[in-house]
Structure 1
């Protein structure tokens, strides 16, 4: 396969923007589409776009990600994260194209003391997690070449995310209270994009390289939200950007409409064993993103 044509669904999201910015143009033709060209909520739109673009591979980076808002918009969350994901997977399958589908740590309840394996029991705590889990199931049922990749705590120079929020608030305040009893794997959208392109390139070289199934894909290492914030501020301060003191608090002190998993850590050894893909340590990636945000004052965008 001389040049792989990849349809990326979800043009405006963090991962979609990272994919568009980093596509190896000499080997991959990335077609990144969102509304109005591709309305993921419309099955007819999905079918027309897949037919018109005729991709060799599809990446689904489109998602409803407003975790708390999903509690009051369950139908919308389910439409985007479950129904649309299944339709897109089926449309790809009709062309013989694999789909790389992004999912989340929120499929777990966070009660396990150790990092989660792909084989661990799923038990979402809220609407968002349930919609993403149903999306996984529909994608797997609709496409025999479905690669489902669960990630967590995604941040980037774009969109709404924890890193940008911390810098924006620190620009006007000296101290922030941040939860310290939830642990996970901060993951840069840039690293997710690099990993997705690595898998796509393996497929371009050998169509038999696609191994379907569920895989975990997060940054290496772990942190609490408070520790993540402290690292963000340390990097920002060194680069001349905003910083603040972090007051470590408990989840009970910061109630939200949706319960968050206390343990969001994912074991990513299966991805490394099958695809040879491992994401960098979260600290190095945080440094890269925060330095860019400071350089561009991107936290205020």
Structure 2
């Protein structure tokens, strides 16, 4: 089985490239700002399945660049999905908890109404709708709080700040499930394989790490494993300056994913130990 992956330097894309059957495309090979080029790349490579692990992910900047984010997060996945439908191959697309407003006090289910509160969420939801409209074999996999030893993420930010600060303010009233990029990559690969065998599994799914915690609790776990941990001060999200509003809850109900694909929520604490060890070895 050959899998074509859009994205090469992102956290999940890097993990996907550890699989021998994966061919990953960077911006020079397939610019998501040019949806037609993405469609042409799929035709040229003729894979057995496609995974879109690329996106416009600058949440705050998207408030000023929503038109660009709409092309990358909405129009490009639409072109990919239509091409995959025409070629009758599975298309797996990584989406986000930010399609929800995070209110209501419960973990969001795949079938819950989408109510994005920022430009990033709106553009990602446009992509989701276009993928469904393409009517091909697909899986939209929503996830949250991605972290790894690569790229920019909360774990690496906390480690960097801990070296230069004696006190760190961390938001305590936003809750979510930190998700290892390696687990997302493995899930996407498994879903692509299962869709090839059973097209009836097409749909929208959730996949996030467990247990759910606040950013403050996540930071506490990260820094408890370091030798020079600064003091942490919990603050409300309202005290943290940001251009884009964030949902107060990023909790995702992942039971349908487990029932359909046999994929359980990964324990992010075990993954965190592995990632910290990897970062220490490469320092």
Which bin holds the TM-score, normalised by the shorter protein? over 0.9
Equivalent position to 1:195, from 174, 182, 187: 187
Q: Which deviations, in whole Å up to 9, do the C-alpha atoms of 1:118-152 show, x marking residues without a partner? A: 12121000100000011100011114211000000
- Note if contact 1:175-1:246 (Cα within 8 Å) is conserved in structure 2: yes
Determine which of 1, 4, 14 is the counterpart of 1:7: 4
SS of 1:44's equivalent in the other structure is helix
User: 8 Å contact 1:154–1:188 — kept in the other structure?
Assistant: yes
Residue 263 of structure 1 aligns to a residue whose secondary structure is coil
Partners of 1:101 and 1:47 lie apart in 2 by 14
- CA shift for structure 1 position 203: 4.1
Shift in CA distance, 230/10, structure 1 to aligned 2, threshold 3 Å = same
Task: Give 3-state SS (helix, strand or coil) of 2:224's partner.
Answer: helix
- Distance in 2, matches of 1:181 and 1:213, equals 31
The answer (yes or no) to whether the contact 1:221–1:282 under 8 Å persists in 2 is yes
The aligned residue for residue 284 of structure 1 is: 270
In 2: Cα distance, 1:261 partner to 1:100 partner: 25
- Aligned Cα RMSD in Å? 1.3
Q: For residues 91 and 144 of structure 1, what CA distance do their matches in structure 2 show?
A: 9
Name 1:35's counterpart in structure 2: 27
The runs of 5 or more residues in structure 1 that have no matched partner are none
CA distance in 2, matches of 1:169, 1:219: 24
2:226 match: 236
Cα deviation, residue 44, structure 1:
2.9
Q: Is the 8 A contact 1:46 1:91 kept in 2?
A: no
Contact persistence 1:163–1:232 (CA under 8 A): yes
Range with greater deviation from structure 2 (228-237 or 54-63) = 228-237
Instruction: Please show how residues 149-160 of structure 1 align to structure 2 within 5 Å.
Output: 149-160=141-152
Task: Give me the TM-score of the superposition, normalised by structure 1.
Answer: 0.91
Q: Which residue of 1 aligns with 2:215?
A: 225
Alpha-carbon distance, 1:202 to partner: 2.8
Report the number of matched residues. Answer: 283
Which of 161, 172, 179 pairs up with 1:169? 161
Q: What residue in structure 2 maps to residue 62 of structure 1?
A: 54
**SS of residue in 2 equivalent to 1:102:** strand
Q: 2:117 aligns with which of 125, 146, 152?
A: 125
The equivalent of 2:279 in structure 1 is 293
SS of aligned partner of 1:75: helix
Write out per-residue CA displacement over residues 13-40 of structure 1, whole angstroms, 9 at most, x where no aligned residue.
111111112x1x3xxx211001101112
Alignment correspondent of 2:242: 256
Distance 1:286 1:143 in 2: 38
Matched residues in 2 for 1:210 and 1:163: separation?
37
Question: Which of the residues 205, 223, 236 maps onto 1:215?
Answer: 205
The reply on whether 1:96 has 2:88 as its aligned counterpart is yes
Aligned mates of 2:193, 2:131 — CA distance in 1: 21
Q: CA deviation at 1:209?
A: 5.4
TM value normalised by structure 2: 0.96
2: distance between equivalents of 1:209 and 1:109? Answer: 31
TM-superposition CA deviations, 1:253-282 (whole Å, max 9, x none): 113111111111001000000111113212
> Shift of the alpha carbon at 1:236?
3.0
